[in-house]
């Protein structure tokens, strides 16, 4: 799945 709106990476 493409990146969800919540970006958990720096």
Partner 1 sequence: MNVFRLAGDVSHLVAIIILLVKIWRSKSCAGISGKSQVLFALVFTTRYLDLFTVFISAYNTIMKVVFLAMSYATVYLIYMRFRNMYDSENDTFRVEFLLVPVIGLSFLENYAFTPLEILWTFSIFLEAVAIMPQLFMITKTGEAESITTHYLFFLGLYRALYIANWVWRYHTEEFFDQIAVVSGVVQTIFYCDFFYLYVTRVLRGKAKMILP
Residues that bind partner 1 (CB under 8 A): 1-10
Q: How far is the CB of 1 from partner 1 (least distance, A)?
A: 7
The Cα 10–Cα 5 span in angstroms is 14
Least distance to partner 1 from the beta carbon of 3, Å?
A: 3
Could you tell me the smallest distance in angstroms from the CB atom of residue 9 to partner 1? 7
Alpha-carbon distance of 7 to 10, in angstroms, equals: 8
DSSP state of 3: P
């Amino acid at each position: 799945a493409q990146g969800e709106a919540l970006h958990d990476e720096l």
